[in-house]
Each structure stands twice: as C-alpha cells, then as structure tokens.
Structure 1
Amino acid sequence: MTERANGRPDARRAQVRRHRRERQIVVFGVLVIALAFTGVFAAGVYKGDIDGPFSQPFVTPVGEFESDVTLVCPPVNSTPMLHRNVGVRVLNGSDVSGLAGSVSSVLDERNYVIVTTANWGRTYAGNVRIVFGPDGVRQAYTVAQNFDGDVDMVLDNREGTLVDIVLGEEYQSANLRSTLAPELDPDLILTANAECLPVGLITPEPAPRSLPANPVDEKKKQDS
C-alpha cells in the first residue's frame, strides 16, 4: 500500500511507456528513411541512371535502341492539317516529262503551298517517296493521304516542315486520289500502313545540302 500510495509503480509504468514510444519513433524513422532510399534507388534504376542488381535492364538506355523499323508513326490521334499550312516541293524522279508540274497543279488546287517543282536528279523506281524532317511528320502524313499505292515515308534530318514529294517510275495519274476518296476525309485519324516507331526512335537520313525556303515556316517565325 505504501508503494502504491507513493506512486512508484505508476512511475515505473510511465517510464516503460516512454521508452516504448521512443523505440517506436526510432523504428518508424528508420523505416521511413529506408523506404525513401529504396524509392530513389528504384527510380534511378528504372531511368537507367543507376546500375541495378539485375543483369537485364528495365529499360533500354537512350542510344542503345536497335530496330529494323524505319517508318515514323504519325502523332497520336492526329488528323490531317489544313492544307494551307503544309508546304511541299514536288520532284520528278521518273523519265516522264512534266510529271512534277501536273501533280503540283492538282495539289495547288487543294490549297497546299507549292514551294517549287523540279527534277529529282536521279531516278526513283517506286511509286511515291515522301521525305520530311522531325518537325514535319504530321504534314507528311497529311500529304501521303493524297496518293494511292505504295508510298515510301522517309525521315531525314532537315529543319523545318517542308515535305518533299518524289514521283517515281511506277507513279500513274490514277494514283493521285480524288478529293472524294474516303482516305481524304479531314476528320480521319492519321495512321501508318506498317509497323512504325515514334520519331525520336528513328535514325534520320542525311537531308539535302540545301532546301528552298518554306513560306509556311517563314510565316510561323514572323507570327511568333
């Protein structure tokens, strides 16, 4: 009764509870620090900034991606651009005289900006070859809708949005689609006709040494 009256058992219990709380604080603090470190480490491994404990990486580091795919995907869920915002250069890669001029006249009627027409300088054996840079992917797919048959989409490292259209030996006038063709629906989502990859994963070809000025790009610079 004297010990209880003097509060000694209560003091001991209070001390035990205090020690228990202190241990809990230490344990939880260590766990929080460990979880934080684990999260940072896992994020570093995922990004490829830190070597992980496994021989197989979670992601392929930039610059080590390899693929035989050369086709660039159109922007996700994108529709054709307004034709007045697409500058094209029409090149004749065949032996048919005047081919570039006749095709450019039709595209001009469809409100594309015809930058120039010329001979390609060499022969293209295929149907239509469309060449564009990283900034002109949507423009290129907009142009490609005009043509039926095999259309070769080629990415090079040019600056700007100018799209080159090369007409080849297999091209025929019937390969230029009518404006009533369902493929020319302005609300149709742009799609690739083969396996493709985002533009950042395709190695571009060298661009021509010189390209004509694209009025569309010049206008954008002035507006900005």
Structure 2
Amino acid sequence: MTQPPMDPTASKRATVRRHRRERQILLFGLILIGMAVAGVFFASVYKGDTEGPFAEPFVTPASDFATEVNVACPPGDALPMEPTEIPIRVLNSTDKAGLAGTTASDLKGRGFVVTGAGNYPRPYEGSVRIIYGEKGLVEAYTISTYFTQSEMVLDTRDSAVSDLVIGDEYDPATTLRPQGAPELDPEVPFVRPQQCVPVELVAPEPAPRVIPDNPLVEASPSASASAEDVPQEGDN
C-alpha cells in the first residue's frame, strides 16, 4: 500500500514548532543559569566574601538635606561626662533676684566647673535652656540629664563652655534632679530625642561675642565685652 504524499505545509509547521521549542528551552536554560549565578554572587556579598557593585551608600548629600528639626542627636553610644569635666555659665532670665547665684552654687555642689553667674539679656519663659557649641555637644547632653525639663540650643561658639539659662518655669525643688536619681547614672547612655539630626545638620544660632574662657584648657584672650553681649555679674 502506498502512503499518501506528505503535506509540505504540515512539515514546515512541524519544523517551526520544533525550532520554537528549542529556542524556548535554550532561553529558559540561560535564565535559570543567570539566576543561579546571581544567587551565588549576592549570597557571597551578604556574607562579606565579595565586595558589592556599589561602594558608596545611598545617602542624601548634606548640602541638599533640609529639615525643620533643630535638635542635635547625641553622638553614638556616648556616656555622660563627669561634672568636673564640664565648664558652665549660669544666667538668670527672670526677675527673681539671686536665682543664677543659687543655681550656680547647686551645680558647684554637684562638681560642675562654674565659670560665672549673671543675667540673661532676654526673657525666657521655659524652664532651662542649654546653649552650647558643637565642641560641647556631649557636655550639653550631660547637663540636660540633671534637669527634668530642658531645651538645647546650638550656636556658633567655638568652645566647650555651655550657658545654662534659667527661665520663668524653673523650680529648683522639682527641675533639678536629686543626687542619686537613676537618670544620673554615668553608665547609662543618653536618651536619644524622638526627632533629632546629626549636629552638623543643625543650623546654629549666632553666639554672643564674649564666651568665658574654659578653665579646663589653656586660657585664651577674651574678646572685648559689650553691654548687650555680656551678662552683668550678679543677679537682678
């Protein structure tokens, strides 16, 4: 019996389907091989055996960073300093006579190095304001732990001497923590504020032209005083 002649069109379609399957098998095989190689590579990067393709972290340049947060974060896991290592000037912004002097005495009793006591030229309605420079960030955070309420303000001073401004809401009986309070444990790291940024990203306020010499370092010549910038010694 003779077979009917093969349809050339059907034979062509079968050849096309076979070639298509071969291309699909080749394509899927290459994809699987690539995924396997990528998996091995990224596993090696994750374990640290291989350097990743990106050497620099994805960060926003400091010059392009803008924020309304003006509170500087404490540096890393920094611990409080000893009060004997912290120079501080106490300023009274209220009309309560003698408040800067009594607060200075209290702080001296805690071991702080008090550089002076005087009047603050502007009113302050809060409790305690700690004005510090970038060099005195840890000092300022240490000072803040001694008070139940405080506000920290960065200015442009090139000194570790901080100014402690006493405001209308200050109450020495409740604002200054008692000795032995758990918050004063020198082995406990600073509490990080909920909203803070690195100190270099905080816009500092202008510093007064006269900052007391830091008695813990070699004395440097003081700037000339002016009635507006220098608090008068003694309280009002």
Whether these two folds match at TM > 0.5 is yes
2:166 aligns to what? 167
Letter in 2 for 1:162: V
Q: Which amino acid aligns with 2:144?
A: A
Distance change >3 Å, CA 92–CA 158, structure 1 → 2:
same
The structure richer in helix per residue is 1
Matching residue of 1:215: 215
The aligned counterpart of 2:192 is 192
Q: Deviations over 1:56-84 (max 9, x none)?
A: xx432231110011001111111110111
The CA deviation string for residues 24-57 of structure 1, in whole angstroms up to 9 with x for no partner, is xxxxxxxxxxxxxxx9x965xx58xxxxxxxxxx
What is the aligned residue count?
Answer: 167
- Asked whether the 8 Å contact 1:160–1:217 carries over to 2, the reply is no
Cα offsets for 1:111-142 (capped at 9, x unmatched): 11000110001111111100100110000011
* % identical equivalent positions: 42
Higher Rg of the two aligned structures: 2
**Residues 207, 97 of structure 1: CA spacing in aligned structure 2 closer, same or farther, 3 A cutoff?**
same
* Counterpart for residue 203 of structure 2: 203
Moved over 4 A (4+): none
Give the secondary structure class of the aligned counterpart of 2:91: strand
Q: Give 1:215's aligned amino acid.
A: P
Q: Is the 8 A contact 1:80 1:186 kept in 2?
A: yes
Aligned counterparts of 1:186 and 1:61: Cα–Cα separation in 2? 35
1:128–1:171 Cα contact (<8 Å) kept: yes
